[in-house]
Structure 1
Amino acid sequence: MSRSGEDEVRHMLDGPHPQVPADLAQRAAERGARLLHRRRLARRLMLLLAFAAVVAFTVWAVTAQPWQVPPAETTPPLDGW
């Protein structure tokens, strides 16, 4: 940083500071609590959705049994009888 840039920064920092609202910390804490609550709720809903998906897949797999070969629909032709 050049010397003139440092002087400009020092001048800006030495100037008057804006007034901070008296209830700023309280509002920030309330907003943080709301965000935390929403994140917890979203996480719980996602876990519930994942659990429901696992249960639905398990029920489907038990009833459909996709690992078994389906029975043949037709019999092979009998030649030579």
Structure 2
Amino acid sequence: MPKAKQPLTARQVFARNLRRARRLQDLTQEQLALEADMPRAYISRVERGTINISMDNADILAKAVGVPLRDLVDPAKFQGLDDAA
């Protein structure tokens, strides 16, 4: 019997939604990094969900992609968008 799919963690939701919001704005990770004044490698780690992010940095990134922070932590936001875009 297949295992039930585990719900995404808050970190995974933020990572997925940030990546999708960035792509909707047609921004590269480098452009987002410049806008947010953060290293591109840090943006990459955030988008992969491999790093815990502070609330302050989450807010900076939300502003940089032009969406409210609450949208980046909402599991239903950006649902159904092609993640490979």
Give the TM-score band, short-chain normalised.
Answer: under 0.3
Q: Which has the larger radius of gyration?
A: 1
- Tell me which protein shows more helix as a share of its residues: 1
Bigger relative contact order, structure 1 or 2, given CA contacts below 8 A and separation 6+? 2
**TM-score normalised by L of structure 2:** 0.21
**TM-score normalised by L of structure 1:** 0.22
